[in-house]
Amino acid sequence: MGTHDAGAQAANWDGLEQLIELAGQSNLQLLAPPELSLSQVSQQDALLIVSPRKALPVGSLSAFLRQGGRVALLDDFGSGGRFLSAYQVERGPAPSSGPSLRNDPRLLIAYPHSEHPLAEGVSLLLTNDASSLRHPDLKPVFVFGHSESALVLAGAVGAGRLVAVGDASLVINQLMQLPAHQRFARNLLEYLSREGGKIWLIGPETKLTGSYGEEEKPGAAWLDGVLKRAAHPDLPPSVLTLIAFSLASIAAVIALNALPRTSPYLRASLFPDDTVYAGFAGRVALSKQAGSNLIWPLLDLKHELETELSYRLGLVGRFDSEKALAAAKRRDLPGAELSALERLLGYLSNQASRAESDTERVTISAAELEDKVRQAELLLARLGSEKA
């Protein structure tokens, strides 16, 4: 990708002008602002993220997906890695051999591997220095040549949809001359679109601000039923169900690669024309692996605890810890438990800030997550179920 802004594409070979034009021709609302506040994104919307240069706000994107949003990430080895790892998606180099343009191993050709709306009518995709994607429980939508190395994974995350591709060049102007790439881009836009929603194009220079759900109304059920007890020999029930909530039904990833500054491609006429689900058991198996990092379920806990506290304490607007503590005090929460609530909220806020930072890797163990879940359950039980 070039260094230009995604919202003002010139007709550069590696720009996104053709993608934006295709959306207009398909009567799909694709918006590409230079700056986007996630607080203005609704759960009916979709985010099309192309080659991000800065770390993505994983907490906000996870909440967005969980509530029905749709996200497509097109990134190779760039700043989208932390977001992919949150959903146990690994990325690595593409195969060193296989069908390619001009016998160049950097220009591998990918073919459909499973029936999926993204693959409908697409005979092949040309890639450039792409990454391959792997998830132990997902069947690829597109693979390199006849291998099992995935270029595209796609599917459901809770009520939302996630797509990730190992090569951003799939939708640049140069390759959008190819009928197969035009059809893939149209499939992708249609897969992301929902009635009454918008598709927000987030390019390398797009500035993301705010947090998703800043103005959302409280009242969601505590952990959306996630903390219902479930027997398991290895993990505590609360941890098991919370992990299932955070990771269940994942199935989509398409990763995109940034291109060199000069086009490696030939003219379009020279190119050849030749339901993925993740099960509950697969999620649980991942969570049982030694050294599993449960930071993302912990962030789910933070979001759901704040939502439930807002509902039970009658708070309006964006969650505020000080207002929540003052309201809990008015509900006659004893001093010791009030202090415990303050410590828990502070701990969760601190972990969320650390997770959004690029300076360190935050690791949460199953025991630590279980402890925080138990604390939250006890405090909510003490507050009662009635709204203030």
pLDDT reading at 154 higher than 80: yes
pLDDT, residue 59, reads: 84
Closest CA to 45 of 30, 59, 23: 30
- The more confident residue out of 22 and 14 is 22
**What is the predicted pLDDT for the residue at 362?**
76
87, 299 Cβ separation under 8 angstroms: no
Does pLDDT of 232 surpass 80?
Answer: no
**What are 86's strand-pairing partners?**
none
By mean pLDDT, which of 40-54, 111-125, 256-270, 329-343 is the weakest?
256-270
pLDDT surpassing 60 at residue 26: yes
Tokens standing for residue 27: 């009567």
Using the predicted structure, report yes or no on whether residue 233 has a pLDDT greater than 50. Answer: no
**Which pLDDT score is estimated for 45?**
95
- What type of residue is 166? G
Q: Kindly report which listed range (42-46, 234-238, 309-313) carries the lowest average pLDDT score.
A: 234-238
What's the pLDDT at 63?
Answer: 87
Going by pLDDT thresholds of 50, 70 and 90, the confidence category of residue 97 is confident
Q: Could you read off the pLDDT of 132-150 as tens digits, one per residue?
A: 998 776 678 999 988 889 9
Inter-helix orientation angle 335-356/295-313, to 10°: 130
Cα(78)–Cα(163) distance, integer angstroms = 16
Higher pLDDT, 52 or 157: 52
- pLDDT for 188 equals 96
| Residue 217 pLDDT greater than 70, yes or no | no
Q: Does the pLDDT value for residue 32 go beyond 80?
A: yes
Distance spanning both ends of the chain, measured CA to CA: 52
* Percent above pLDDT 90 for the chain: 32
Q: Is the pLDDT of residue 5 over 80?
A: no
What pLDDT was estimated at residue 224?
37
Q: Which pLDDT does position 357 carry in this prediction?
A: 63
pLDDT (0 to 100) of residue 46: 95
Q: Where are the alpha helices (DSSP H) in 115-167?
A: none
pLDDT for residue 68 is more than 70: yes
What SS3 class is residue 228? coil
CA nearest to 211, candidates 382, 349, 27: 349
For 252, the 3-state DSSP assignment is: strand
Cross-strand pairs, 91: 133
Measured at the CA of 52, the angle between CA 33 and CA 105, to 5 degrees, comes to: 130
Among the residue ranges 5-14, 159-168, 191-200, 356-365, the one predicted with the least confidence is 5-14
Q: Does the pLDDT value for residue 203 go beyond 50?
A: yes
Share of the chain above pLDDT 70, in %: 73
Cβ neighbours of residue 34 closer than 8 Å, sequence gap 6 or more: 5, 7, 8, 205, 206, 207
Please report the pLDDT score of residue 53 as a whole number. Answer: 86
Q: Domain map of the chain by residue range? A: 17-234+249-279, 290-383
Per-residue pLDDT tens over the stretch 280-294: 233 333 444 444 567
Q: Band the pLDDT of 360: cuts 50, 70, 90.
A: low
Average pLDDT, the chain: 76
Q: Rounded distance, CA 73 to CA 51, Å?
A: 8
Of 67-81, 152-166, 227-241, minimum mean pLDDT range: 227-241
pLDDT, mean of residues 311-326: 87
